[in-house]
Structure 1
Amino acid sequence: MLLTKFTHACVRLEQDGRVLVIDPGIFSESQTALDGADAVLITHEHADHYDAEALTEALAHSSGLRIHAPAGVAHDLRDKAPAQAARIFDAAAGESFTAAGFAVQGFGGQHALIHPTMPIVANVGYLIDDDVYHPGDSLIVPDGVSVGTLLIPVHAPWSKVSEVVDFVVSVRAPQAFQIHDGLLNEQGLAFTESHIARIGAAHGVKFRHLNSGQSVEL
């Protein structure tokens, strides 16, 4: 499986000619990530994970594209693209389904708390082919499974470094890469990643930084 990292929280998975994209948001190179995609997974409604305009355009230009998202996001997208509504599906924690030939399991259910005055929205983390785990905006450890490749939200308004490191240690995936890094400058990212790499290594986790557009074979 080939994984390509895009800016912030978006990744693209390719295997045997099949393409699955997760969280193409407004900070990401959504049109590039979506080129040739067979399916898209959206973790939650925030624009840095959900570029509604790019997805509406992609649905109009690709008759085979399927999109899976929490119910609120799916409803919004069906309103924006009524002619393609039959290709937009609700996704929820605890459910399993197939997207572009990839086996998908949903975990979590809620976005991490940003502040008590701000409503909590739905968030679904996705485990792909019993290997790649994208948690969206949460630090939910998936239960009952072993993760091979962890995508780590390294920085967010709702997290701190100790929580991120504890998440990495708890999941204990053999390898890990960063996501949700679009709000950090180069110095801040290097500082945070150094803690993840050092402490993660003590627990058997090999962390590697991926630049935007960089791919790795899993």
Structure 2
Amino acid sequence: MLLTKYTHACVRLEQAGQALVIDPGVFSESSVALNGVDAILVTHEHADHIDQEAVLSSLRENTRVVLYAPSGLAATLREAAPEAAEQIQDAAPGDEFSTAGFQIRCFGGQHALIHTSIPVIANVGYVVNDSVYHPGDSFSVPHGLQVKTLLVPVHAPWSKVEEVVDFVVSVRAPHAFQIHDSLLTETGLGFTESHIGRIGALHGTEFRHLASGESVEI
């Protein structure tokens, strides 16, 4: 399976001639990531995780493309594009399904707390082929399986370095790559990733930074 990292929280997975994209947001190269896509997974409704215009354009252009998202967001997308309503499916914690040849398991349920004055929204983390875990905006640890590759939200308004490192240590995936990295300067990103790499290695996790557009076989 080929994983390609795009800016911020967007990744593309490819196998057997099919492509799955997770969280193509407005900070990402959404049109590039979505080119020839077969399925789209969206963890939650924030714009840095879904570029609604680009996503709906993909659904309209290819009626075989299927999108999964938390129920509230899925309903909003169906209302915005009723002609593509049958392509938009709900996803919730505990769900398991197959799409575009990929096996998906759903975890989590809610977005991490940003501030007590800001309502908490739904957030679904996705495990692909029991191997790759994209948590969206949460530190929910997937239970009942050992993932091989963890996508780590390295920085957000809702997190601190301690929590990021503890998440990596808790999941204990052999390999980890960064996501949710657009809000940091190069200096800040290097500082944060050095802690993840150093402490993660003590617990069996090899952390590697991927540049935007860089691909790796997993």
Tell me whether the two structures share a fold, i.e. TM-score over 0.5. Answer: yes
- Report the Cα offset of residue 87 of structure 1: 0.6
Q: Unpaired segments of 5 or more residues in structure 2?
A: none
* Alpha-carbon distance between aligned partners in 2 of 1:164 and 1:56, rounded to the nearest angstrom: 32
* Alpha-carbon distance between aligned partners in 1 of 2:68 and 2:201, rounded to the nearest angstrom: 34
* Alpha-carbon distance between aligned partners in 1 of 2:61 and 2:99, rounded to the nearest angstrom: 19
- The answer for the alignment partner of 1:195 in structure 2 is 195
The SS at the match of 1:133 is strand
* Alpha-carbon distance between aligned partners in 2 of 1:55 and 1:205, rounded to the nearest angstrom: 33
Q: Which moved more, 1:54-63 or 1:27-36?
A: 54-63
* Alpha-carbon distance between aligned partners in 1 of 2:56 and 2:207, rounded to the nearest angstrom: 35
The SS at the match of 1:12 is strand
Q: Where does 1:4-153 land on structure 2 (aligned, <5 Å)? A: 4-153=4-153
What RMSD in Å do the two structures reach over aligned CA positions?
0.5
Please tell me whether residue 164 in structure 1 is matched to residue 181 in structure 2: no
Runs of 4+ in 1 over 3 A off after TM superposition: none
* Alpha-carbon distance between aligned partners in 2 of 1:19 and 1:203, rounded to the nearest angstrom: 32
* Alpha-carbon distance between aligned partners in 2 of 1:27 and 1:175, rounded to the nearest angstrom: 25
- Report the Cα offset of residue 129 of structure 1: 0.1
* Alpha-carbon distance between aligned partners in 2 of 1:10 and 1:118, rounded to the nearest angstrom: 24
* Alpha-carbon distance between aligned partners in 2 of 1:4 and 1:99, rounded to the nearest angstrom: 19
1:62-115 CA distance string (max 9 Å, x none): 121000000011011111110010010000011101121100000000000000
* Alpha-carbon distance between aligned partners in 2 of 1:73 and 1:29, rounded to the nearest angstrom: 21
The SS at the match of 2:146 is coil
For 1:93, give the aligned amino acid: P
* Alpha-carbon distance between aligned partners in 1 of 2:73 and 2:32, rounded to the nearest angstrom: 21
Aligned residues: 218
% same residue: 66
- The answer for the alignment partner of 1:177 in structure 2 is 177
The SS at the match of 1:25 is coil
